[in-house]
Amino acid sequence: MIVLLQRVSEARVDVDGVTIGAIGPGLLALICALAGDAEADADRLAAKTARLRIFADAQGRMNRSLLESGGAVLAVSQFTLAADTRRGNRPSYSSAAPFAVGEALYERFCTALAGTGVNVARGRFGAHMAVRLVNDGPVTIWLDSREGDSVASIN
């Protein structure tokens, strides 16, 4: 499972011109379930998202978690994070989980994250969405359940 986190001062997602999810300060989480992922992957990445210390403390250092900062999460499914661009110019998404499995794991991630006490707003799985955000930092973090408990910053 892949979760791409972007620290935001605000974010919202619209479907058919209607806002269905919006947050103030917190994280935009773009979520992709991969073939072979399990509920344990969703649970672990949800817990990691809640605990990741990427918010400023009183000294301005990234030392506070989402839980400590009181931020929210806008969770948006994004199967294109599974893109394989190694061959040709048309990405392959064959490593993405099948639709029903992806939807179940997306829902599991959202439920597990909400279970930690984080306010979770959601996009609509499988819908064409317009996502608007104001990056804060910018801070962008890549979480990948296939890489154990490691976290790599890409920004």
**E strands of the chain, at which residues?**
2-15, 18-23, 26-32, 55-56, 62-64, 72-77, 119-122, 130-144, 151-153
Residue 151 has pLDDT above 50, yes or no: no
Q: Please give the pLDDT value at position 117.
A: 97
Residue-range domain boundaries for the chain: 2-153
pTM for this prediction: 0.93
Residue in 80, 109, 111, 125 annotated catalytic:
80
Residue in 6, 55, 79, 125 annotated catalytic:
79
92-104 mean pLDDT: 97
In the residue annotation, 80 being an active-site residue is answered as: yes
Q: Please give the pLDDT value at position 139.
A: 97
Please, which pLDDT band fits residue 148 given cuts at 50, 70 and 90?
Answer: low
Q: Which CATH architecture group holds 2-153?
A: 3-Layer(bba) Sandwich (3.50)
In the residue annotation, 79 being an active-site residue is answered as: yes
The 10s digit of each residue's pLDDT in 113-125 is 999 999 999 999 9
Residue in 6, 49, 55, 78 annotated catalytic:
78
39-47 mean pLDDT: 98
Helix, strand, coil % over all residues of the chain, rounded to 5: 25, 40, 30
